Structure 1
Amino acid sequence: MNIDQVKGNWSQLVGKAREQWGELTEDEVMEARGEREQLVGKIQAKYGKTREEAEQEFDKWVAEL
């Protein structure tokens, strides 16, 4: 799945994102609206990861969808 598909199907993918990043609230995931940079920033902040680590984790998640 590519990022455009993620954005287009975001309401269906919120649950999968919550499974992947359980510390994020549903509101935080919904606010991202499938935007890579927003969700990466939330992952980075909530989990104390570097920007690069959060980006790699997000990209891996999208590739596995």
Structure 2
Amino acid sequence: MRETEYRARGNWNELKGKMKQQYGDLTDDDLTYEEGRQDEWLGRMQQRVGKTKHEIKEWIDRL
């Protein structure tokens, strides 16, 4: 694994932890992100946390 890929995964794991802290009912499956499926993932998150896609993007940016 390249160093930049390792750092990106580490950052994502840290972000997932913060998201779970704020929304304790989020599961690892909810937070599984697949390359090229951002809209699908955002839709899933939208259903789970009750926010718009725009609000979710802003929330993630603030974390």
Q: What percent of counterpart residues are identical?
A: 28
Alignment partner, residue 51 of structure 1: 53
Please name the residue that 1:22 is paired with.
24
Structure 2 unaligned regions, length at least 5: none
Residue 26 of structure 1 and its aligned partner are, at CA, apart by: 2.3
Q: CA RMSD in A?
A: 2.9
Aligned length: 53
The normalised TM-score by structure 2 is: 0.53
Q: Residue type of the partner of 1:59? A: D
Contact 1:24 1:46 in 2 (8 A): yes
Greater helix share, structure number: 1
The amino acid across from 1:46 in the alignment is R
Deviations 1:17-57 (A, max 9, x none): 3113322112222x126x9x33x433312122111111111
- TM normalised by structure 1 equals 0.52
